[in-house]
Amino acid sequence: MNSMPCRAVALALLLSAAGCAVGPTYQRPAFTAPLAYQQAAGWVVAAPADALDRGPWWALFGDPLLDQLAAQVTVSNQNVAAAAAAYAQARALLAEQRAALFPVVSLSGGASRSDSGNGPRNSFQASIGASWEPDVWGRLRTATDGAAASAQASAADLASARLSAQGELAVAYFGLRQTDGQRALLADTITGYERSLQITRNRYTAGVAARTDVLQAETQLANAQADAIGLARTRAQFEHAMAVLVGKTPAEFALPPLADWRATVPEVPIAVPSTLLQRRPDIAAAERRVATANAQIGIAQSAFYPSLGLNASAGVGASAVSSLFNASSLLWSLGVSAAQTLFDAGATRERVNAASAATDAAVARYRQTVLVAFQDVEDQLAATRVLAQQEALRRQAADAAAQVQAQVQRRYEAGQVSYTEVVTAQATALSARRALVQLMADRQTTAVALIQALGGGWHGLQLAE
């Protein structure tokens, strides 16, 4: 008689050891990558991987102040903090799911006093019990695998949030420095316009220039001064955005202007398409969510099979504390339970179908994420190539316009041309110089966008010779 519970326990353990996991075996969704980037001719090939430390990619721009600010993003940015908390929550859920694989042990005790008419009576109890659900069909293991994939997806989300915040900071910083460059350019231009206005007034006083020349010079100067004031507003907006990105209020954050701004544009090695999937954290997160959805199919399918449970308890009971732990007071029990749904009108089957459809949706989102990633890289490669070609032309245009302005100014002072030609030459020169400053900032922000499209920096990567 006493051997029956022991046999039941042994049978359940044997089934657990030999049990087969339900649900489809997970395989990473297939995606055929192109052999090369359309826009990548002549670029260096890299061999990246998502697990590698991307390192401080912003250091490639050679700006110590940017290095300090980017480091603050990781610590103080609230979006990054929220993503870090979500990752911590996912890890806790994974640990909780793993705990379900082990028995639950409980301890209980109690004391009571009662009177049924024969006098007061004391009663004391103490017991220890254990319960365990053998993972015969692999439901718990599948759920643990799904929780692990979900935690990995949260880790990738954290990397995405960190990369996004760092990229936003770099773009705002370069926008601010480009504004500083525009302000310095306008300050020099205003100084030149003031000299031109004084020369025009002297010529008007001497009777060799018309009043309209003075008015044109005044108009040119006033417009330049208004533009300079407008740039102060733009700079303040960039500064406020950076304050929020580093976790501060605008009142707590200020950057001194740079009078001599020089844009540094790093050379970015380009990853081959077949390894891009391992670079971007958003792609890694999408792939891990496919694995999570796939695990849900197995969990749903496990409802087709009976659930088994083991429980055991041992305890003592007595009317006096002194005799509570005597051998005669020992009580014990062993039990096996099984439950099987016989009819649910197809609900279990539909839950499996719903889980399969959710997995198909996750696969589609994963593939769409990959497609968008390739588009991002191609877009930034094209922009990088075009802007690099434009730089030489913009410099040539700025130099030529400056020479024309100087020559026209001398000819006006000699009385050979009207002041209208001076105004036109000045406006053309200023436009060319501002376009060059803007292009240099565009090259920096495009480099940041390309780094983000590739999933971060490339520290520790082995580049092809």
In percent, the amount of the chain with pLDDT more than 70 equals: 80
Return the higher-pLDDT residue of 120 and 404.
Answer: 404
Which residues in 133-282 belong to E strands, given as ranges?
A: 270-271
SS3 28: coil
pLDDT at position 177, please? 93
pLDDT band per the 50, 70, 90 thresholds, residue 306:
confident
Assigned token pair, 158: 């954290």
CA–CA distance from 226 to each of 219, 220, 237 (Å)? Answer: 11, 10, 17
Q: Could you give the domains of the chain?
A: 20-104+135-306+347-453 (1.20.1600.10)
The Cα-based distances of 200 to 113, 221, 413, 419, 429 in angstroms read 112, 12, 9, 9, 19
215's CB contacts (< 8 A; 6+ apart) are none
CB 52 within 8 A of CB 461: yes
pLDDT for the residue numbered 96: 80
DSSP 212-229: HHHHHHHHHHHHHHHHHH
Beta bridge partners of 284: none
pTM above 0.75, yes or no: yes
- Beta strands 45-46 and 330-339 are unpaired
Mean pLDDT, rounded, for 382-395: 92
What's the pLDDT tens digit per position in 206-261? 888 889 999 999 999 999 999 999 999 999 999 999 999 999 999 999 998 876 77
Q: Are strands 270-271 and 45-46 parallel, antiparallel or unpaired?
A: parallel
> Helix, strand, or coil here: 190?
helix
Cβ density class 146-165: b for 16+ within 10 Å, e for less: bbbbbbbbbbbbbbbbbbbb
CB 370, CB 28: distance < 8 Å: no
Band of pLDDT at residue 405, cut at 50, 70 and 90: very high
Q: How many CA atoms lie within 13 A of 292 on its CB side?
A: 19
pLDDT at 5 over 80: no
Q: How many CB atoms lie within 10 A of CB 451?
A: 23
| pLDDT given at position 402 | 94
**pLDDT confidence bin for 43, thresholds 50/70/90:** very low
Count the alpha carbons within 13 Å of 105 in the hemisphere toward its beta carbon. 3
- Report the pLDDT value the prediction gives residue 193, as an integer from 0 to 100: 92
Select the more confidently predicted residue: 9 or 206: 206
- The whole-angstrom separation of Cα 190 and Cα 184 is 10
* pLDDT for residue 175: 93
- pLDDT at 407 exceeding the cut of 90: yes
Q: How far apart are CA 227 and CA 221, in angstroms?
A: 10
Residues whose CB falls within 8 Å of the CB of residue 413, separated by 6 or more in sequence, listed in order? 199, 203
Tell me the pLDDT of the chain averaged across its residues.
81
What confidence tier does 38 reach under pLDDT thresholds 50, 70, 90? Answer: low
Q: In angstroms, what is the C-alpha Rg of the chain?
A: 37
Q: In which band, very low, low, confident or very high, does the pLDDT at 374 lie, cut at 50, 70 and 90?
A: confident
The predicted structure's pLDDT at residue 10: 47
Of the given ranges (183-192, 204-213, 335-344), which has the lowest mean pLDDT?
A: 335-344
Given a cut of 70, whether residue 32 has pLDDT beyond it is no
The C-alpha atoms of residue 190 and residue 222 are separated, in whole angstroms, by: 9
What pLDDT is attached to residue 11?
Answer: 47
When pLDDT is cut at 50, 70 and 90, the band that residue 301 belongs to is confident
In whole angstroms, what is the distance from residue 403 CA to residue 158 CA? Answer: 52
The answer to whether 101 and 147 are in contact (CB under 8 A) is no
- Distance in angstroms between the alpha carbons of the first and the last residue of the chain: 77
Determine the average pLDDT of the residues in 390-401.
Answer: 94
Confidence tier at 8 by pLDDT (50, 70, 90): very low
Label residue 21 by pLDDT band (50, 70, 90).
Answer: low
Q: Worst-scoring range by mean pLDDT, 17-21, 209-213, 256-260, 327-331?
A: 17-21
Across 80-94, 139-153, 379-393, the highest mean pLDDT is recorded for 379-393
Please determine, for residue 199, whether its predicted confidence score (pLDDT) is greater than 80: yes
